[in-house]
Amino acid sequence: MLIRHATLPDGRTGIDVLVQGGRIAALGPNLPAPAGIETIDAAGQLLSPPFVDAHFHMDATLSYGLPRVNASGTLLEGIALWGELKPQLTQDALVERALQYCDWAVARGLLAIRSHVDVCDDRLLAVEALLHVREKVKDYLDLQLVAFPQDGVLRSPTALANLKRALDLGVDVVGGIPHFERTMADGAESVRILCELAAGRGLRVDMHCDESDDPLSRHVETLAFHTQRLGLQGRVTGSHLTSMHSMDNYYVSKLIPLLAEARLHAVANPLINITLQGRHDSYPKRRGMTRVPELMAAGIEVAFGHDCVMDPWYSLGGGDMLEVAAMGLHVAQMTSQAQMRACFDAVTVNPARILGLAGYGLEPGANADFVLLQAGDPVEAIRLRATRLLVVRRGRVIARAPAAAATLALPGRPARVDWRLQR
């Protein structure tokens, strides 16, 4: 396959991409076409590496309304609701919903997902279901699983044993939820236990951390401390970190350098936290997203995650990482050109580094995985939630969609409209 005349996210235009043996063999202007090769004209549109979601819950996805909806809209009611649903789950239904979500993801050019999977069910039903799904989708989607003790690794009596069993079964990453433990001290202790477990097994860590409006929630500080102490730098992620939104500025001025020193990664989940947080506020209502531009400015790897799609915590969504980027951009007021491009990176290259994906990126030798978007650049892609014209995995087209357009019937106006800026 030879892609002609693509624009890349870094602004290079007129780029050809030659694919051979599932990898990018060459990339540059005016590449010679080997005889008999399939040629696709990108016509100046944006060719991006695939979208990556650094934070998702595939065991809960598409369960909206089961057994009822979240009336208060809070995180805590969502956790309680998930607890009501868990005994009713079946492996077949979990697999079916996860596979359906993976179809949606692929159609939207989302080809790598880190999903948390709840281990606080002694049957480990969801773990077994998602391990099965990971295997089933591996040719077209990288699914990385996090052993997530939803009910608290100390608060739930069998959670730690279950979490270890899940890792033994092949779950990839150690999770946690220190802000849901019974006390702040237990939360800190859970971080220590889980980081030591990960260090002992040579695994990465990704914890739900300080997902509250409590300005005094301090678990990310503890996470950075144990990351440093155990030599886990660059392998640990703090997810959500919403309390940082509400923290005192002086304390944050001390905290962020500590996170940078530990090379901690951060994942914000804008769609979810703009709806879950601030529910106890009257007015003004806090936005409840962590301090994304400040973390980025400190050199911390920051990604935006989708977190939830139609589950006990969130009633909308559809695997569109451009929607996630757009919400993150708005909530963080990241409106300069450079910041908008950084929001695109936060759903592509940044999460790829956080997940440690091998062979990711548009360069010779990398996997031939990419998405052709109906947009001229990353900012336009976010603005338009651009159509994924082609989705390619290892050099094979695995999804395609017709260009978005509308037909007009207006006197003196063009018959066809699309929403790209005409220059």
Say whether 294 is catalytic.
no
3-state secondary structure 369-416: CEEEECCCCHHHHHHHCCCEEEEEECCEEEEECCCCCEECCCCCCCCE
> In this complex, which beta carbon is closest to Fe ion, that of residue 213 or of residue 307?
307
Min CB(181)–Fe ion separation in Å: 16
304: helix, strand or coil: strand
Rounded to a whole number of angstroms, the minimum distance from the CB of residue 53 to Fe ion is 11
Report d(CA 54, CA 52) in Å as an integer: 6
Q: How far is the C-alpha of 270 from the C-alpha of 273, rounded, in Å?
A: 5
Judged by beta carbon, residue 276 or residue 352, the one nearer Fe ion is 276
How many residues sit in the footprint of Fe ion (CB under 5 A)?
Answer: 1
Q: Which is nearer to Fe ion, 8 or 110 (CB)?
A: 110
Closer CB to Fe ion, 75 or 382, in the complex = 75
Residue from 207, 173, 160, 165 nearest 188 by CA: 207
Part of the chain binding Fe ion (CB under 5 A), chosen from 30-38, 281-289, 299-307, 356-364: 299-307
Note whether 276 and 327 are within 8 A (CB).
no
CA distances from 48 to 171, 344, 372 (A): 29, 10, 6
Minimum distance from residue 313 beta carbon to Fe ion (Å):
8
In the bound state with Fe ion, the residue whose beta carbon lies nearer, of 307 and 323, is 307
Rounded to a whole number, what is the largest CA-CA distance in the chain?
A: 72
Q: In angstroms, what is the minimal distance from the CB of 308 to Fe ion?
A: 7
The first and second tokens of residue 248, run together, are 């005192």
Q: Mark out the alpha helices in 288-320 (DSSP H runs).
A: 292-297
Single out the catalytic residue among 211, 221, 301, 323: 211
Pair of tokens at residue 282:
């009257």
What is the smallest separation between the CB atom of 141 and Fe ion, expressed in angstroms?
19
Residue nearest to Fe ion (CB): 307
Q: Is omega for the bond preceding 67 within 30 degrees of 0, making it cis?
A: yes
- Interface with Fe ion in residues 300-359 (CB under 5 A): 307
- List contacts with Fe ion (CB under 5 A): 307
Which of the residues are catalytic?
Answer: 211
